[in-house]
Amino acid sequence: MNELPNNPEKPNMGGPVVPPESYVTPAPAGGPGEPRVPEGSGLAGLLQKPQNVAILALAVLLALQTYSTHSRFNKLREDVARTLQKDNASNAETAQAVRDIKETAKDLQVKVGVLENRQTEAQSQQAALEQMYQDISKNRDDWALSEIEQVLSTASQQLQLAGNVQGALIALQNADRSLSRSDKPQFITIRRAIARDIEKLKALPSVDQAGIALRLDNVISLIDTLPLLSDEKPAEPIAPSRVSPPGVATSGVAGKPAVPADRTLGQRMLETWRNWSHEMWDDIRQLIRVRTVDNPDALMLSPSESYFVRENLKLRLLNARLALLSRNEGTFRDDLNSAQQMLVKYFDTKARSTQAAQALLRQVQANNVTIDVPDLSESLNAVRNYKSKP
**Considering the domain boundaries, does residue 338 fall inside one?**
yes
Nearest CA to 159 out of 148, 174, 170, 143 is that of 170
Question: Is residue 233 located within the same domain as residue 142?
Answer: no
Question: Is residue 155 located within the same domain as residue 185?
Answer: yes
- State whether residue 205 is helix, strand or coil: coil
**Considering the domain boundaries, does residue 251 fall inside one?**
no
**Considering the domain boundaries, does residue 353 fall inside one?**
yes
Cβ contact 347:226 at 8 Å: yes
Question: Is residue 216 located within the same domain as residue 317?
Answer: yes
pLDDT attached to residue 9? 44
In angstroms, the CA 156 to CA 164 distance is 9
Question: Is residue 144 located within the same domain as residue 229?
Answer: no
- State whether residue 347 is helix, strand or coil: strand
**Considering the domain boundaries, does residue 354 fall inside one?**
yes
pLDDT attached to residue 297? 65
Question: Is residue 321 located within the same domain as residue 347?
Answer: yes
pLDDT attached to residue 338? 92
Question: Is residue 306 located within the same domain as residue 357?
Answer: yes
pLDDT attached to residue 318? 92
In angstroms, the CA 174 to CA 177 distance is 5
pLDDT tens digit at each of 390 positions of the chain:
444 444 444 444 444 444 444 444 444 444 444 455 455 555 566 566 677 778 888 888 888 888 888 888 888 888 888 888 888 888 888 888 888 888 888 888 888 888 888 888 888 888 888 877 666 656 666 777 788 888 888 888 877 776 677 788 888 888 888 888 776 777 788 888 888 888 888 887 777 777 888 888 999 998 888 888 776 554 444 444 444 444 444 444 444 455 455 668 888 888 888 888 888 887 776 665 555 656 666 666 777 888 888 899 999 999 998 888 777 788 888 999 999 998 888 888 888 988 999 999 998 888 877 777 777 788 888 888 877 776
In angstroms, the CA 198 to CA 196 distance is 5
Question: Is residue 378 located within the same domain as residue 229?
Answer: no
In angstroms, the CA 55 to CA 94 distance is 55
Cβ contact 293:229 at 8 Å: yes
In angstroms, the CA 381 to CA 390 distance is 16
Strands annotated E in the chain: none
In angstroms, the CA 386 to CA 390 distance is 9
Give the Cα-Cα-Cα angle 134, 139, 142 (nearest 5 degrees).
130
Give the chain's domain count: 2
**Considering the domain boundaries, does residue 86 fall inside one?**
no
What residue type is assigned to position 344 of the chain? V
Q: Which residues of 267-285 are buried (b: 16+ CB within 10 A; e: fewer)?
A: eeeebeeeeeeeeeeeeee
Question: Is residue 201 located within the same domain as residue 185?
Answer: yes
**Considering the domain boundaries, does residue 325 fall inside one?**
yes
In angstroms, the CA 159 to CA 169 distance is 10
Question: Is residue 200 located within the same domain as residue 340?
Answer: no
Question: Is residue 322 located within the same domain as residue 222?
Answer: yes
pLDDT attached to residue 38? 52
**Considering the domain boundaries, does residue 63 fall inside one?**
no
Question: Is residue 198 located within the same domain as residue 300?
Answer: no
CATH number at residue 163: 1.20.120
Q: Is the dihedral of CA 239, 241, 247, 253 positive or negative?
A: positive
In angstroms, the CA 321 to CA 309 distance is 19
Residue-range definition of the domain harbouring residue 178: 138-206+373-388
Query: Which value, to the nearest 10 degrees, does the dihedral of the CA atoms of residues 211, 217, 223, 224 take?
Result: -140
**Considering the domain boundaries, does residue 8 fall inside one?**
no
Question: Is residue 364 located within the same domain as residue 300?
Answer: yes
H or E element, residue 372: none
